Amino acid sequence: MHYLDYAATAPVPASVADAVYRAMTGDPYNPSAQYDAAGNTRRALQENRTVLADALGCEARSVVFTSCATESNNWALRAAAYHGRHTGKHIITTAVEHSAVLEVLRAMEQEGYEITRLMPDASGAVSAQQVARALRPDTVLVSMMLVNNETGAVFPVADVARLLKARQSPALLHCDAVQGFMKVPCPMQAWGVDLASFSAHKLGGPKGIGALYVAPHLKTLRPLLWGGGQENGLRSGTEATAQIAGFAAAVSLWRENGAAYLANISALKAECLRRLLTIPGMARIGQGESPHILSMTLSGYPAGNIVTELGQQGVCISAGSACHKGKPSHVIAAMGLSRRDAAGAFRVSFGPESTLRDVEALYEALRAHQQNRFPML
């Protein structure tokens, strides 16, 4: 198997699975239980929260665990709009956010919010100047992702934070940082971002655990779930201690080995690009600067067929975002590619376990596809 779909999800390293297992089979206590025996469970939860907070450069109380980044995004957008309810109903985002942002905003649009969606240029970039032009006195929220999950473009979140401050805008800034966390710098607190979403499974952590960074000044953020008051009263429900242990173990691995991981990943991405461009009809899509995501097109060859055929040969890549399940990608559409280039768009993404052999297998399979099939457009 040649797995090159890390932006969809990452394999779980043994030490992460071990941390999950130990948390599940160790002390059976509820972290909120009052007897002394539960103290270790409570402390372990707090230590795991601190691992994430240290990686983010924020205080532990700013990290709220959720069930996934989709949940973090849903909550952040709704809570930010509620926060600004006396200011207005205008929201700025980009046209190329993940569906876990775009679909929430589409629902909010139907409820009366006005959404400005910034378009990327042909390279996939969105600028802080575009936000500056769209910003209004009644803007209550700007939501901009850190790294685009299809093109790997890195967005200027720090510049947008500075802009909002300079303009003394009441708008909150939310960042879907799922694809950027541990891959590019994201000191959310230092940048002045108000809310940021994270997911463990893109880093080799378990699926079904995420987090929302909540800036310290947002003391009255509207909770997601009301109940027993866990997570500082913001998201009630007994904490998913085992998944949280796995999340922290995955982040710890990245903190210890991140430089080596990124050196390997960046070198493989560069080599992959170099080799694929030797195949006739192959072109790069955008200029995504993230170390791990490469967007390419085999112009005119339907990407769905490429992905299926390569999958049968044990090479796993994705046609646009895996989350779109075969629908044409809104990201590729927003970049204004020709019909032929859009049809052939696929994503290759790398992780710590990726090797040159994976890149070679991809290259060979794509070259065979290009030679043995006819373009359909």
Q: Is residue 210 close enough to count as binding ligand PLP by CB under 6 A?
A: yes
Can you tell me which of 70, 74, 93, 169 binds ligand PLP, judged by CB under 6 A?
A: 70
Q: Of 30 and 99, which has the nearer Cβ to ligand PLP?
A: 99
Residue in 189, 209, 221, 204 with CA at minimum distance from that of residue 258: 204
- Alpha carbon 277 to its chain centroid, in Å, reads 27
Helices (H), the chain: 14-25, 39-56, 69-83, 99-110, 128-134, 157-166, 188-191, 241-276, 303-312, 330-334, 339-343, 356-372
Could you say which residues in the range 288-317 bind ligand PLP, by CB under 6 A?
none
Q: Quick check: is 175 catalytic?
A: no
| CB contact at 8 A, 231 and 249 | no
Q: Is residue 93 close enough to count as binding ligand PLP by CB under 6 A?
A: no
Report, in Å, the least distance between residue 175 CB and ligand PLP. Answer: 10
Report, in Å, the least distance between residue 364 CB and ligand PLP. Answer: 28
| Residue 345 structure tokens | 């768009």
Tokens 């399979």 sit on residue: 365
- Report the C-alpha gap between 22 and 16 in whole angstroms: 10
Report, in Å, the least distance between residue 370 CB and ligand PLP. Answer: 28
- Alpha carbon 376 to its chain centroid, in Å, reads 32
Report, in Å, the least distance between residue 154 CB and ligand PLP. Answer: 12
Q: How do 293-298 and 345-349 pair as beta strands?
A: antiparallel
Can you tell me which of 12, 19, 131, 145 binds ligand PLP, judged by CB under 6 A?
A: 145
3 state DSSP class of 367: helix
Q: Is residue 212 close enough to count as binding ligand PLP by CB under 6 A?
A: no
Can you tell me which of 41, 149, 151, 329 binds ligand PLP, judged by CB under 6 A?
A: 149
Can you tell me which of 2, 49, 90, 98 binds ligand PLP, judged by CB under 6 A?
A: 98
Q: Is residue 245 close enough to count as binding ligand PLP by CB under 6 A?
A: no
Q: Is residue 69 close enough to count as binding ligand PLP by CB under 6 A?
A: yes
Stretch of residues binding ligand PLP (CB under 6 A), selected from 171-179, 214-222, 241-249, 286-294: 171-179
- Report the C-alpha gap between 146 and 161 in whole angstroms: 12
Instruction: Give the binding site for ligand PLP (CB under 6 A).
Output: 68-70, 98, 100, 145, 149, 176, 178-179, 199, 210, 323
Residue positions annotated with a catalytic role: 323
